[in-house]
Amino acid sequence: MGKIAFIFPGQGSQYVGMGQDMNNEKEEIKQIFEKADSRLGYSLSDIMFCGPEETLKRTEHTQPALLTMSVAVLELLKSYEITPDFVAGHSLGEYSALVAAGALQFEDAVYTVRQRGLFMEEAVPFGEGAMAAVLGMESENLAVITEEVTAGGNLVQLANLNCPGQIVISGTAKGVEMASEKAKEAGAKRVIPLSVSGPFHSALMKPAANRLKEVLETIAIEDASVPVIANVTAQEVRSAADIREKLVEQVYSPVQWENSVRTMLEQGVDTFIEIGAGNVLSGLVKKVQRRVNVHAISNQESLQKAVEAMKG
């Protein structure tokens, strides 16, 4: 029997109505939404269930919403006694992974990611930063381009190394524009500007990281009960001190998602369970290694399917 990894989505997977069916089904899950509302001091669940989409899409709401959704789905899984050998999350999803590994309490995590969202929004005035997805180009070649543009005075860097041939760049609006043009000239298949509110996972986020560090110092973090594959290094972390440090670095460092998946594969993981909204990570895992089992669980129905497939 191979090993199981729980993986948790990040920003971009949100949708209005997420979690509503679960909220009506199970008292324990209702309590999760209530805990989030109570810790944040406003009705996050209302924004999740009813929108409007514009409000849900604001980073300060998106981040706690996706975390709450993942933790609610995690609660559904509890009755099936499926436990992970590893956990990992994409950017914001790392906080969900840390809740799953017992390193963070849910209420602390939901408060922290709301602050993280606010700090990230406030770090760079709207319109001054940008992000774009570059398809069909090797990371080494793209890194040469971003370094060249940055050296010329317009900061841009690799932000998300998602899977072979899909890399997100982040930086100043001008830097991203120049690097996008050069990437196309150098043979990238497509470059897609992303509709985000800031240049996440770039050095422009250092002010946000400094503010997040202060918040994290007030939050209790425990050693993880299962290995967490950190975005920053694509290696496992377990100690509370390491976890705290990596969460601060994560804000301005590239998300090493492809390498994180490879690390888990090397450790014998053959089943990846995506927990929360959407199935973005399932697609990325399949692009890294087609021959693994991947399940995306976002409600009772998808949970039943996954459980049956795993028993099969």
Active site (annotated) includes residue 61: no
225's CB contacts (< 8 A; 6+ apart) are 101, 102, 103
User: Of 249, 272, 253, which Cα lies nearest the Cα of 88?
Assistant: 272
User: Of 66, 105, 89, 55, which Cα lies nearest the Cα of 255?
Assistant: 89
Name the active-site residue from 70, 91, 170, 298: 91
Strands 269-275 and 293-297, how do they pair? parallel
Q: Is 47:65 a contact under the CB 8 Å cutoff?
A: yes
Q: How many CB atoms lie within 10 A of CB 71?
A: 25
d(CA 118, CA 210): 13
d(CA 95, CA 10): 10
Active site (annotated) includes residue 225: no
Name the active-site residue from 13, 96, 197, 201: 201
The residues annotated as belonging to the active site are 91, 201
